[in-house]
Amino acid sequence: MGDSVLLSRRGPMGVLTLNRPQDRNPLDRETAQQLLAGLGEFFGDANIRAVTITGSGPAFCSGGDLEQMATLGQLPVDEAYSWPEYIVGLHQTMLSAPKPVMAAVHGAAYAGGMGLAGMCDIIVATTDARFALPEAKIGLFPMIIVAHLARAMPRKRLLEMMLTGDPIDADEAHRLGFVSRVCADQASLLTCVDEYGEKFRATSPTALRLGRRAFTLLADMPAGQALDAAQFLNLPFFFGDDIQEGAAAFLDRRPPRWADHQQATETEE
């Protein structure tokens, strides 16, 4: 892992921290590549039930690296086209992520930084968080992040943000359904992350892994197709071990002992 992204753990939660605070944590090719590597490491770790992306310093993520982007016009077309490939890969990875991914946002989440938050399943933010898409003010349009943000916000409000570049605060983002919880400060933000970690620890690993991917598929299908597909997607749950353990634990009035968690605990020991 490079210097742009730090990996750490908070119980069952893996944490990826953007680590260029002096530049307000820009999302460039190298950072996107390191985020992809970090996600891959946490997705393959049975001890990790979910992942949180956050930022060091005064901002979550200020967006793309403008110094790099200003040189793209000097490149051959094919090289300029491939420049954002790791950022696109990050978005694609999040569509089929096998574990929940959260964004813990404080300060600015601008441009690609708002897109980075928007690709996550859950966003928690401090009261000082600000979200904006100012690309049009510098001669760009936020093309790539439309794919996720159009599924995470009301369409016309999102387009207004893209056309004007005007920011919204955490409270408005919460009213729009973009942010799940607003926290007073960074200390309470980390407490919130820990609370979600414990919630995910208590849920079925199969439900997290398969259910999250099924949701992405079903939510983008026409209703009739989604209902047909849901019958097939139910089968791994019906024939899996987790439903047996979950039902037994409920009837016995005890916490479930999930097989994946047991295996992870034995590995740690």
Q: Where are the beta strands (DSSP E) in the chain?
A: 5-10, 13-18, 50-55, 101-105, 108-110, 122-126, 130-132, 168-169, 181-183
133 in Cβ contact with 165 (< 8 Å)? yes
209 in Cβ contact with 259 (< 8 Å)? no
Q: Which tokens in the block code for residue 229?
A: 């597909």
Question: Per the residue annotation, which of 30, 67, 135, 268 is the catalytic one?
Answer: 135
Alpha helices in 10-111 (DSSP H): 29-43, 66-69, 77-82, 85-95
Dihedral of the alpha carbons of 157, 163, 164, 168, in degrees to the nearest 10: 30
| Cα 19-25-30 angle, rounded to 5 deg | 75
Residue 135 catalytic? yes
Phi-psi region at 119: left, alpha or beta (left = phi > 0; alpha = psi -120 to 50): alpha
* CA end-to-end span of the chain: 26
Active-site positions?
135
